[in-house]
Amino acid sequence: MNRFGEPVSGARVGIGTASRVTNAQGKFTVPLVPQTYDAAVVVDDPAVPPGFPPVSRAVVYQQLTRRDPVLFVPGLAVQPGTGTHSTTLQSLSTSGLTGVPLLWAFTNASGFVAAGVVTGAEMHFTWNGPPDAVNPGSLVAMIASAPQGITASGSVPVTAAAPISVTVPVTAAPTITLSATARPPAGCGVVGLDVVIPASDGTTVTAARLFAPVVPGTSGVTVDSIIGFTNDVKLSLRISTTCLSSSATSSVARRLPRRLSPSTTVFDVDVPAPPVITSPAFGSPASSASPLAWTAPDGSISVLHFDRLESNGFISRTLDLATTSTSTAFPNLAALGVKGVPGLSFVWRVEAWGGLTGTDALADTSGFGALLAGTGNFSHGVSASSSVTISP
């Protein structure tokens, strides 16, 4: 599946010595696998413009045990046979109640969410589908104000196949009492407690800011706030911290989304430390023959992201590797069948996901997709970036 949870046909799946290609429904069958196995998925990205060399998006899952894995390729946005559509939100107004700032969200039955703030200028959001696809859903309007956040909301049905201009009837939003305590790790500070609307592309729109930035090293932050709540979109409490890595001069960050509901309003969180790359040393490129090593909180899943970035900003190859370990060798790209613009250097970073039960949790029907959308309860830490040089 791609990062939006859509099935991908034509993906090359390797489990042990078995190799399969996914069918039109994105499915594959391997007759016999060991109790614990690694799985690799490679997809040639259909979004690459004609005339450019083929580019692969790949992911490796280590130590899976599921008999029915759902393998997400987080670097893949579209799947073969589809394209990216852009819908214009020309205008949005409310009736019943009015106010600013005015937030908007487009949602559909498959769980796709696009969100933004009404600025007065034309707004756009993108989605995937066949060339002649339509995208029926709902346009949600939310009035927000400090410090309550959402004060009114409502929705109307729309189809994201043509420019949208709508007036949405809104009613006053109910309130909930939110209590949150966040304690950052040593050397880190809380830089934000926000109620956010998570979008499917991994971005968020802030509905209420509960805590302003402070100096790193603060022992903890507690907030008690009355905030507006709506069922028209999913809301999360996002706790953001930043730290100064002991092995780098750049900062590393960790975020903890926590799903909000009328029955879940009290949070007491010890924020884990973010991952830190320990080998190679910061600023020293590694070779593919040397193991890569990093630190990560106990029990977390590490996802290593490798990007080949060209001088014009084009990402000509991506590879993700999910593991419960804190060291690994760079995967053999030739053995995986990964295609890309010739080049030997990758930028890489580590994301540590806490609150999961092994890599099997990433291969669940709501695994990577829920993490990327920020709709689950987990911790998310990001290391500073390093580089790795691939031997010819």
d(CA 157, CA 136): 8
Whichever domain contains 148, its CATH number is 2.60.40
d(CA 116, CA 92): 12
Check: CB of residue 42 under 8 Å from CB of residue 7.
no
Q: For position 215, what pLDDT does the model report?
A: 54
Q: For position 249, what pLDDT does the model report?
A: 32
Q: For position 390, what pLDDT does the model report?
A: 66
Q: For position 293, what pLDDT does the model report?
A: 92
Residues 233 and 162 in one domain: no
Distance of CA 189 to the CA centre of its chain: 23
User: pTM of the full predicted structure?
Assistant: 0.78
Please list the residues that pair with 85 across neighbouring strands. Answer: 127
Residues 160 and 183 in one domain: no
- Extract the tokens encoding 32: 């016999």
d(CA 137, CA 135): 6
Residues 140 and 153 in one domain: yes
Q: Which helix (H) or strand (E) is 368 found in, with range?
A: helix 368-373
- Extract the tokens encoding 132: 């002649």
Residues of the chain where predicted confidence (pLDDT) is lower than 50: 216-217, 246-254, 392
Q: For position 167, what pLDDT does the model report?
A: 96
% of the chain at pLDDT higher than 90: 29
d(CA 389, CA 288): 6
Residues 301 and 363 in one domain: yes
- Sequence-separated (6 or more) residues with CB below 8 Å from residue 332: none
Check: CB of residue 222 under 8 Å from CB of residue 181.
yes
Residues 318 and 385 in one domain: yes
Q: For position 310, what pLDDT does the model report?
A: 66
For residue 32, give its domain range.
11-80+274-390
| 2 found inside a domain | no
